[in-house]
A and B are shown apart, each in its own frame.
Chain A
């Protein structure tokens, strides 16, 4: 088990950086609210960052010779999400269950 000091340091780092990223913009970027760069970035960033994170987690999941299992589970996740009214719980649950079954049973 990792050293508790190391884990506490992680908690401190995660807290400090996350809180700063959430709170500082309210104070610092207030005057930039009208900036066109900031406005276009805030409109463009979310979808692209999410796609990069999806690609990155896909890659981790597909490592260790699990490419086809990951592909099938992503397809199930996306199909359930689009077909069943975009209920995150249902789509994530169906995809994860598929992956766990494919990895352990097949």
Chain B
């Protein structure tokens, strides 16, 4: 019932029913609920998928790289980056390192994702494979409301939006007379909105300062590999911060 408390004073009767911790609904109702859970993020994923499909074709890559990357990776921001890297014939080792660094944040999703509700080996493998930012954010926000069918149907819906968005982009690109300059800005815009969503509380200020410092350091030390250096520096600074917090307040929690 924590979900109700978190939603504040606007909780209605519908919210209360929605948030019942032990679902007594049928499998079909759970699947419908999962698809409904997917709508909000899906509204963003389908159009960004179209921009991604357009970018694949306009970068001079074959059309099948759009569904190919969306099935191999299923990681929107990385896919957009890889399109640029592949078009520039970047060495595979650099692409591997970029994939590792950009997707490394997923390592931490395991701690708050309700995988335990998913039954069956194949279903569990799919649920881990499809652990995208949106699925993690929506599932971790109200961890107690999930059932296996609900979680899986949400994740399958996300992938359907993303893959079909990419294919739509590929089709639209074929109908256009020439490339549209500037579409790649969608990726920057996406990260700006995700940053704004992640940094809503004042508690995030030290984290943001450390991240900004890391990026400035990356630019100064290695302008050609600023992203790589910035990520390493950020992780190192967080480790130092953790040690400092533990030393200052041995019995307190480490979040402050």
Contact B191 A21 (CB under 8 A): no
Contact A49 B234 (CB under 8 A): yes
Where chain B touches its partner, the secondary structure class is helix
Q: How far is the CA of A31 from the CA of B19 in the complex (A)?
A: 29
Contact A77 B86 (CB under 8 A): no
Contact A51 B211 (CB under 8 A): yes
B122 at the interface (CB under 8 A from A): no
Q: How far is the CA of A18 from the CA of B74 in the complex (A)?
A: 8
Please report the total number of A residues contacting B with Cβ < 8 Å: 71
Contact of A52 among B74, B100, B214 (CB under 8 A): B214
Which residues of A in the span 1-45 have a Cβ within 8 Å of any Cβ on B?
A: 1-2, 4, 6-7, 9-15, 17-19, 21-26, 29, 33, 36-45
Shortest distance from the beta carbon of B199 to any chain A beta carbon, whole Å: 5
Q: How far is the CA of A90 from the CA of B62 in the complex (A)?
A: 29
Binary contact track A64-93/B, C-beta < 8 Å → 1, others 0:
000001100110011001100011110111
Binding site for A on B (CB under 8 A): 41, 43-44, 47-48, 51, 60-62, 65, 68-69, 72-75, 77-79, 82, 84, 86-87, 89, 92, 95-96, 99-100, 102-112, 115, 125, 128-129, 131, 180-199, 204, 207-208, 210-212, 214-215, 219, 226-227, 230-231, 234-235, 238-239, 241-242, 245-246, 254-255
Beyond A42-B112, A100-B183, 14 additional contacts (C-beta under 8 Å) are A6-B86, A7-B86, A11-B69, A13-B95, A13-B99, A19-B128, A47-B195, A49-B105, A49-B211, A52-B230, A56-B227, A59-B219, A77-B193, A99-B182
Q: List 20 A-B contacts (CB under 8 A).
A: A4-B62, A11-B65, A11-B72, A14-B72, A15-B72, A18-B103, A22-B131, A38-B108, A40-B242, A41-B235, A49-B211, A52-B231, A54-B192, A55-B215, A59-B219, A81-B193, A91-B192, A91-B193, A96-B189, A103-B181
